[in-house]
Amino acid sequence: MAELKYISGFGNECSSEDPRCPGSLPEGQNNPQVCPYNLYAEQLSGSAFTCPRSTNKRSWLYRILPSVSHKPFESIDEGQVTHNWDEVDPDPNQLRWKPFEIPKASQKKVDFVSGLHTLCGAGDIKSNNGLAIHIFLCNTSMENRCFYNSDGDFLIVPQKGNLLIYTEFGKMLVQPNEICVIQDVSPFNVVAWHGNYTPYKYNLKNFMVINSVAFDHASLLVCSQDPSIFTVLTAKSVRPGVAIADFVIFPPRWGVADKTFRPPYYHRNCMSEFMGLIRGHYEAKQGGFLPGGGSLHSTMTPHGPDADCFEKASKVKLAPERIADGTMAFMFESSLSLAVTKWGLKASRCLDENYHKCWEPLKSHFTPNSRNPAEPN
Ligand SMILES: O=C(O)Cc1cc(O)ccc1O
Ligand SMILES: [Fe+2]
């Protein structure tokens, strides 16, 4: 396939015309009485009409037939997609999954849609307020079918293999370490479009991460260097500063903080945290948390570095060091309390029953008679 060309810019007003139909974008207006080439004008809105201009998201598409000219929708019974968050009793335990198994194409062909498995989520589709985390496990391309998600934005984080995604705005090749956001209806008959509501992809290696240059990784009140500094994308809730979901990454970077325990600290969080690993390892858990697996620490569930990480990071002589070279971990941090599905707990057969054991070797170092800890060697 010829190399794909991309339009650059996040949230920009972009436009595109099929080179075979020059001038297919109407000039000076969106909805002429008759469109160039006798195309149909169709608007796709991503924000309420009443949103202020600065937050207004919409695109205009000029297509051979409007999207409405489809056959009636019919329900299909396949896949493991659910929005039933009461399938199992609430589980406050720390949960970790071994790498999810991709089915073998020689046994059964599974495409992206059939390969969607809901792992956890919260909220309500009808009120358009919520979040679902699905694991996609597929081995074959979609043929003669397309997919759109009218429940919300779809952020895709591939871990293995490449995705060539055909959208009504054009094609995107998305590879591990890249992400993309889509919702697109895809009878592929769009000749031209313009607007600021489009699918996009992003290479995580381009994210400019910041970190402490003096001390502390997460000081209270002032200058909080918590993972919010690693936030790439935010799905906002109606409460200012509180996200339905933040997409956060832990990319390769420098660690230079003085007199500081540098790995993630122990914490209980009023937000829920789902983590995954695209490649390498995660600094707080060198073993057990593997690429292609995941972990969930839901609201207020305590977690933090494993015993080995704690011992090493408490003793190490602090010098500037490269952290996480060759690795990429990510997190969805959500203000919703994420419930796990039956598939997540049982049918996936990937739940790591031994996860809690990574904290078992933690021992008390309390020294009641000596206030000052010994200097590391
Ligand atoms: O739990 C985790 O490993 C993610 C995380 C990292 C960190 O440095 C601070 C808070 C946090 O949730
Ligand atoms: Fe955390």
Q: Are the beta carbons of 157 and 330 closer than 8 angstroms?
A: yes
Tokens of 238: 């109606």
Closest-approaching ligand to the CA atom of 263: 1
- Find out whether the beta carbon of 226 lies less than 6 Å from any atom of ligand 1: yes
Range of the domain at 340: 206-359
Q: Which residues contact 25 (CB under 8 A, 6 or more apart)?
A: 15, 17, 36, 62, 192, 193, 194
Kindly list the catalytic residues. Answer: 217, 267, 273, 297, 303
Number of structural domains found in the chain: 1
* Domain annotation covers residue 250: yes
Question: Of how many residues is the chain composed?
Answer: 377
- Which atom, in ligand 1's list, is nearest to the CA of 248? 4
Closest CA to 11 of 59, 52, 43: 59
Q: 126: CA distance to ligand 2 center in Å?
A: 30
* Domain annotation covers residue 181: no
Q: What is the pLDDT along the chain (377 residues), one digit of tens a residue?
A: 678 999 998 889 999 999 999 999 999 999 999 999 999 999 999 999 999 988 899 999 999 999 998 889 888 876 799 999 999 999 999 999 999 999 999 999 999 999 999 999 999 988 889 999 999 999 999 998 888 888 888 999 999 999 999 998 999 999 999 999 878 455 678 899 999 999 999 999 999 988 888 888 764 444 446 777 889 999 999 999 899 999 999 999 999 999 999 999 999 999 999 999 999 999 888 888 999 999 999 999 999 999 999 999 999 999 999 999 999 999 999 999 999 999 999 999 999 999 999 999 999 999 888 887 777 65
* Domain annotation covers residue 236: yes
Q: 268: CA distance to ligand 2 center in Å?
A: 7
* Domain annotation covers residue 89: no
Pocket test for ligand 1, best of 261, 265, 270, 299 (most atoms within 8 A of CB): 265
Residue for token pair 């590879």: 175
- ipTM, interface predicted TM-score of the complex: 0.97
Q: Which residues contact 2 (CB under 8 A, 6 or more apart)?
A: none
* Domain annotation covers residue 350: yes
Q: 275: CA distance to ligand 1 center in Å?
A: 9
- Find out whether the beta carbon of 261 lies less than 6 Å from any atom of ligand 1: no
Give the domain CATH number at 266. Answer: 2.60.120.10
Which amino acid belongs to residue 291? P
Please name the residue whose Cα sits nearest to atom 8 of ligand 1: 264
* Domain annotation covers residue 315: yes
Closest-approaching ligand to the CA atom of 264: 1
* Domain annotation covers residue 128: no
- Find out whether the beta carbon of 303 lies less than 6 Å from any atom of ligand 1: yes
* Domain annotation covers residue 253: yes
Closest CA to 295 of 224, 354, 236: 354
